[in-house]
Amino acid sequence: MGVLENKSRARLFYKYLSKVYDQVNPFIWDERMRDEALDMLGLEPDDSVLDVGCGTGFATEGLLQHVDVVYGLDQSPHQLSKAYGKFGKHGDVRFHMGDAERLPFQDDAFDVVWSSGSIEYWPNPVDALEECRRVTKPGGKVLIVGPDYPKSTVFQKVADAIMLFYDEDEADRMFREAGFDSFEHHIQQSRPGSPRAITTIADVPE
């Protein structure tokens, strides 16, 4: 387990990252990549959407271009504080502080569950994926964006020491263990040589 796949260390990390997150994030996960992923979902305005690990609200902003209301969840009060500054506490985003592995929502609550830049910090990603499936309505979709495993052996060792990086084979395993039968992976990249993201869209059985 990487050092940031620990909830208390991850919260401390985001306490400081929240100050510069919106400046750093575009070098790894930019608007074009986000919008490409959004287009894969075919969202409708009245879809109920949960953004797991919403952070400062980068993905939430994109989601609000497609749907009327977004539910945002994060475990970091510092990240949520930044998000409150963007959206307010009582606007089109319904914020919740909580854990991806124990989502505070009823079964079949959402049409779509989205999570970008969060799975790499989940100590038990299969448990969290099971939770995403649980709170998604039958026939709905779960979209997860995480860091693709580096090709370089040196970077692989660094990545393994910090947090979860995974390739398509590992994604297959995690999603199958979480109870998904139908899913597809897309590799996204901001520019040549930049870190690659693996975006998975999974269907929740009807």
Domain containing residue 57: CATH number:
3.40.50.150
The reported pLDDT for the residue numbered 13 is: 41
For 149, other C-beta atoms within 10 Å of its C-beta total 19
pTM of the full structure: 0.82
Report the chain's mean pLDDT, rounded to a whole number: 83
Give me the torsion for CA of 178, 138, 96, 196, rounded to 10°: 50
- The closest of 107, 110, 108 to 94, measured between CA atoms, is 110
pLDDT tens digits along 87-102: 998 889 999 999 999 9
Task: Look at residue 77 and tell me whether its pLDDT is greater than 50.
Answer: yes
- The closest of 124, 129, 160 to 142, measured between CA atoms, is 129
Instruction: Please tell me the total count of domains within the chain.
Output: 1
In a domain, 2, yes or no: no
The reported pLDDT for the residue numbered 182 is: 97
Helix ranges restricted to H, the chain: 7-17, 21-24, 31-41, 58-63, 77-87, 125-134, 153-162, 168-177
| Least confident interval from 81-90, 134-143, 144-153 | 144-153
Structural domain boundaries, residue 30: 7-203
In a domain, 146, yes or no: yes
In a domain, 90, yes or no: yes
Confidence of residue 191 (pLDDT cuts 50, 70, 90): confident
In a domain, 1, yes or no: no
